[in-house]
Amino acid sequence: MLLAVSSSRDPVAAELAGDDAATMLAGQSDVVDAVLAANRVFVAVAAGALADVEPEVTLPQFRALVLCEMHGTITVAELAAAMGVVPSTATRMCDRLVAKKLLDRATDEVNRRQVNLRLRPEGRTLIDQSTRKRTDEIGQLLAVIPPEDQARLTEGLALLVEAAHGSDRTRPSRRPLAGRGGKNDQERDA
């Protein structure tokens, strides 16, 4: 077995009580518990890698940098929507990232009320360094898993990623900003 998670107290069912998801997940609490346990590992790896590279950048700030990288140029309003926060929260976050010289902010030439964000080279370096650290850490975790189990893990994770990409419930941050000419538009049009 790849991951054994005790569900004797069925925390997923308790957490989802009264939710429409509870009906959909009936009988799947072991799977959900395993995915949540793996998610905790991934978050710990990401947080540790980021803390090693740049302890002054929070995970939400890092997520903002990644979104800026994904979209090339993004407005503060688009960033706020992608992160599920109000524009004033995104603005304060960007203020901190600009002060750390990880992000550039400029008023749009056509619509002066619009503020555009672009990742600075220092921000890209931070993302690259953090990604390398996460890759190393995940590689160390995978090294203790037998190859046949790694193959099953790959298949299972691919199914989860596929389901996430096809879901209407996918977070806005994963959706491309249509017509913005960013990285996602280039990949989609290729």
Which pLDDT tens digit goes with each residue over 82-96?
999 999 999 999 999
Which pLDDT tens digit goes with each residue over 9-49?
445 444 544 556 656 666 678 888 999 999 999 999 999 99
173 assigned to some structural domain: no
30 assigned to some structural domain: yes
Q: b/e per residue, 24-49, with b = 16+ CB within 10 A?
A: ebeeebebbbbbeebeeeeeebbeeb
Predicted TM-score (pTM) of this structure: 0.70
171 assigned to some structural domain: no
33 assigned to some structural domain: yes
Number of domains in the chain: 1
Structural domain for 48, as ranges: 11-148
92 assigned to some structural domain: yes
185 assigned to some structural domain: no
| CATH code: domain of residue 122 | 1.10.10.10
83 assigned to some structural domain: yes
181 assigned to some structural domain: no
Chain-centroid distance of CA 113 in Å reads 29
Going by pLDDT thresholds of 50, 70 and 90, the confidence category of residue 187 is very low
